[in-house]
Copies of this chain bind each other. A is one copy, B any other.
Amino acid sequence: MTDQAQLAERPDTFRSISAATGEAEGLEFAVHGPADVDAACAAAAEAFDAYRATDAETRARFLERIGEEIAAIGDPLIEAAMRESGLPRARLEGERGRTIGQLKLFADVVRAGAWRGLRIDTAMPDRQPLPRPDLRLRMVPLGPVAVFGASNFPLAFSTAGGDTASALAAGCPVVVKGHPAHPATGELVAGAIRAAVAASGLPEGVFGHLTGPGNDLGTALVQDPRIAAVGFTGSRGGGLALLKLAQARPVPIPVYAEMSSINPVVLMPEALKARGSALGTAFVGSLTMGAGQFCTNPGLVLAIEGEGLDSFIAAAREALVKAPAATMLTGGIHAAYSQGVESLASHDRVETIARGEVGQGVAQCQAGLFAVDAATFLADHALGHEVFGASSLLVRCRDEAELIRVLRAAEGQLTATIQMDAADTDAATRLVPVLELKAGRVLVNGWPTGVEVAHAMVHGGPFPSTSDGRTTSVGSLAIDRFLRPVSYQNLPAELLPPELHDGGQGGAPLLLDGKPV
């Protein structure tokens, strides 16, 4: 989610806003303009050749060093993030660990070298009717990457988050457009990255950091001809706007925008019968965690009418009415949430199952659970739109066929979840082929809100959950977004990159004449 922070009185600086009070009470930060964008992109382009030529160990150590510098900031980082995001200490300490762990993961990925995609097809000088040339392939980085941080993960998806870590791992300099909802947090992390750049003896342009409250800055950044790709996590409107800008450039560039998802959860009949009440309670835990401000928040629940569903609803209602109000990330996010919830509550075919506690402070969300019949849901496209925050819509289906119709009609999703018991297996077998075409991650008997940073994770999915469903923004596969293949034909060894010399792979996997070695 993005929104626009209020402009400070002085046009050349803006202030950090406290999430809890809505007041611009924090430090002042520079409002960067076109000259700053130009300088950052020029420095990134200038640094590109030297940075992409670094060996695996140098690049891996650099990533680890960023993590060490972030850890060295200590509690002031957590305090800044708490003040700016309204998120609690434990969550932010966990997120800091995740951010550092993510940098370490990519350091390991860089060292392991599979991302290089090395291939050698040996020459066949005597082949008839024509000789086969010597062909050697590697992946090269795209060039400087623009990263737009997310408001909802001020550490793990922002300045030194997954996009930055994977782009740097790929050999791309990064220019971050800091999220205006957490400029103090962003500046602390940017300082850590700059310190790591200096300590690693890398050119300064490997990392740039631009700040400002408006959208002009991001527009100028995406339009700069030296930017080769964009990473973004936020709203659908923001992501689509960047995509349009990138496509309209004289040289279009890839945009990896992770935008919106309502993450359907299917409650299977036998599971509902056996543990409908427990599922209702657990569901509300997932729904309300972090004020529901997760890309993978379960905003859509599908179930077939019956007694089990009634138990689920009763337990969910009981849990939800006691759910405390929580401060949302920004006033803008809170306003959008309130509007989305109100439009569900006032829909004449939508039933309000329960609302959470009413908050006292500014920008506090009151959780909501709603229900609608499948026919209405299928007929009203707007009911399928994301309400970012702790809001979910239960779709009551008559039977399995109707439930599958709802799933097929849904937009692309980051996740899709099945809650099932062993006796549901047959029916679930029919669901998996539908869900795997609709989402990047399919879960059984869990909740989608935990996203493991791992090798087999996909945090991505068909449009509009992301702008490019062929990728992931979490996990080691994310590095592939910033690479492209180059083939070298009959190059003498002196001209070949070291990793394509005979025996020069340094442990990286090689496909030799089509066989892995």
Contacts and interface: CB of A to CB of B under 8 A. Distances in A.
Interface of A: 49, 53, 94, 108, 112, 114, 119-121, 129-130, 132-133, 135-137, 140, 142-143, 247, 251-252, 254, 412, 418, 425, 428-429, 432-433, 436-437, 439-446, 450, 452, 454-458, 460, 462-464, 467-472, 476-477, 483-492, 494-495, 509, 511, 513-514, 516
A437 to B, nearest CB: 7
Contacts of A136: 456
Q: How many copies does the complex hold?
A: 2
B486 A442 contact: yes
Given A108-B514, A444-B492, A495-B429, A486 B436 contact: yes
B460 A485 contact: yes
B470 A114 contact: no
Given A49-B433, A440-B487, A492 B425 contact: yes
Contact of A252 (B140, B441, B463, B489): B463
Contacts of A252: 463, 467
Central interface residue in A53, A94, A445, A486, by most chain B CB within 10 Å? A486
A457 B494 contact: no
Contact of A429 (B457, B470, B494): B494
B120 A456 contact: yes
Nearest to A436: B486
Contacts of A472: 485, 487
Nearest to A485: B458
B485 A440 contact: yes
A462 B484 CA distance: 9
A412 B427 CA distance: 50
A130 B450 contact: yes
Nearest to A132: B452
Contact of A121 (B53, B247, B452): B452
A456 B442 CA distance: 34
Given A251-B464, A444-B492, 12 more contacts: A53-B433, A119-B456, A121-B452, A121-B455, A135-B457, A251-B412, A440-B486, A441-B487, A442-B489, A444-B491, A471-B485, A472-B485
Contact of A489 (B53, B441, B514): B441
Central interface residue in A437, A456, A491, A513, by most chain B CB within 10 Å? A456
Contact of A251 (B53, B441, B463, B468): B463
Central interface residue in A53, A464, A492, by most chain B CB within 10 Å? A492
Given A484-B470, A489-B443, A513 B452 contact: no
Contacts of A454: 121, 132, 135
Central interface residue in A129, A477, A485, A495, by most chain B CB within 10 Å? A485
A438 to B, nearest CB: 10
A436 B489 contact: no
Contacts of A49: 433
Contacts of A469: 142, 484
A131 to B, nearest CB: 10
B446 A490 contact: yes
A119 B514 contact: no
Contacts of A446: 133, 489-490
Contacts of A468: 254
Central interface residue in A136, A143, A477, A513, by most chain B CB within 10 Å? A477
Contacts of A412: 251
